[in-house]
Amino acid sequence: MTIQELEELVAPEPLPQSQDTETTHVLRATGLAKKFGDRAVVDGVSLSVAPGEIVGFLGANGAGKSTTIAMLTGALRPDAGTITVDGVDLAADPKRAKALIGVVPQEIALYPSLSALQNLKFFAGAYKLPRKVQAERIAWALDVVGLTDRAKERVSSYSGGMQRRVNIAAALLHRPRVLFLDEPTVGVDAQSRNQIFETVLRLRDEHGVSVVYTSHYMPEVEKLCDRLVIVDGGRVLAEGTQKELLEPLGEGLLEWAPSGEELALLPAGIGGLAAALAGHGEVSVVDAEAAAPALRVRVRDMAHSLRDVTRIAAEHGIGLGGIRLGRPDLESLFLNLTGRRLRDGA
């Protein structure tokens, strides 16, 4: 293959004309619900993704995130709700709708005893790409993930990062309109992670692919995603751009968790402390019934708040060891919305 031919292959393709005539959304889900036994795992989730948009889909383990993704990608049938991909109803016409979806599972969903080339040939066949097109698409996908020169090696001989990149390439062969990336950087080194970021951005910028991106690593979500959807308990808790979502957090979160002995030094207890700081922003008490409850303040002015906190502590002889400050980021947003950290588990 000449360089010119390769360049033609990897040249940006014009976006296919959207078949959704009513909206500009390439993916739209409404009222998705799924029960396993009596347990409602997903309960009325709705979301939409615009062409060329990267949407971060966030949730702790057990939040219903994987089940929602499984339904959106056609791997699981919802009990209720509708999903359309580029205007095609996934339930009514699964063949056409699935041809518009690319899925990169969290696992290395490849056959390790086969080469990257053999794996890609198989997945190209599974998407029923004509033989002539297969060779072109495989060359293009290998180029996109930077593995053209090692395509004939067994996947089992690859590093974790290389396997992740082949994992992505396998989802690109049929040129999907929307690509689902489920924790695509788990267990990879920094260099491979950067290559994966570049691949995602290139797919968006050069090929107009929409991306639904799930990750536990907040920095990469902040870096990549145009918009975020946060789920917990099977429901959407918040949705919007980072700026929209972080705005209510003010300048950040101030958490104060005095010890039991320190609380005893406060005449009015944790309630008095909450009242004293009420002027600095929205105040909430975490674990109010516990022996050592904590105070959480979404502060408007961090410097001013800290000045008052240190003054109160000094007045009552309380140490500052129980104070934690959080800048207004996705971690603190998630904590504020759900009361737990993203990696706390179920």
Partner 1 sequence: MLVMIRKELRVLLADRASMITLFISPILFITVMSFALGNSFANLGSAGRLSISIADQDRGPAAQAVVNALTGSAQLKVTDETGGAPLTEAQAEARVKAGTDAFAVVLPAGFGQQVADGAAPSVRYVVDPASSRQVVDPVQSAISNLILTVASQSRTEQSLRALAAGTADPAAKAAINAQLAKLDQAARTVNASVSFPTGQSAIKYPSVYQQEVPGYAVMYVFFIVTVMAGSIMVERREGTFRRLLSSPMPRAQLLLGKVVPYALVALIQVTVLMSFGKFVFGMGLGSHPLALLPIAGALAACAVALGLLLASITRTEAQVAGLGTVTVLVLAALGGCMVPGVFLPHFMRVIAEYVPQGIALGAFQDVLVRGQGMGAVLPAAGVLLAVAAGLFALAVPRFRFVR
* Chain contacts with partner 1 (rule: CB under 8 A): 70, 73-76, 94-96, 98-99, 101, 103, 105-111, 113-114, 118, 122-123, 125-128, 170-171, 180
User: Smaller CB distance to partner 1: residue 171 or 257?
Assistant: 171
Alpha-carbon distances, residue 165 vs 52, 147, 158, 181 (angstroms):
21, 8, 10, 11
Q: Which helix (H) or strand (E) holds 104?
A: strand 101-104
Distance CA 153, CA 114 (A): 8
Question: Residue 120 has which token pair?
Answer: 């890609």
Least distance in angstroms from the C-beta of 190 to partner 1: 24
The beta-carbon contacts of 312-318 under 8 Å, at least 24 apart in sequence, are 312/273, 312/276, 312/277, 316/262, 316/265, 316/266, 317/265, 318/258, 318/262, 318/265, 318/266
User: Smaller CB distance to partner 1: residue 127 or 256?
Assistant: 127
Least distance in angstroms from the C-beta of 159 to partner 1: 17
Alpha-carbon distances, residue 173 vs 39, 48, 106, 135, 264 (angstroms):
37, 24, 18, 10, 65
Least distance in angstroms from the C-beta of 139 to partner 1: 19
User: Smaller CB distance to partner 1: residue 73 or 338?
Assistant: 73
Least distance in angstroms from the C-beta of 201 to partner 1: 23
User: Smaller CB distance to partner 1: residue 122 or 287?
Assistant: 122
Least distance in angstroms from the C-beta of 57 to partner 1: 16
Least distance in angstroms from the C-beta of 24 to partner 1: 23
Contact 179, 211 (CB under 8 A): yes
* Angle made by CA atoms 177, 23, 88, in degrees to the nearest 5: 50
Residue with tokens 């959207």: 18
User: Smaller CB distance to partner 1: residue 71 or 270?
Assistant: 71
Q: Which helix (H) or strand (E) holds 325?
A: strand 323-326
User: Smaller CB distance to partner 1: residue 96 or 216?
Assistant: 96
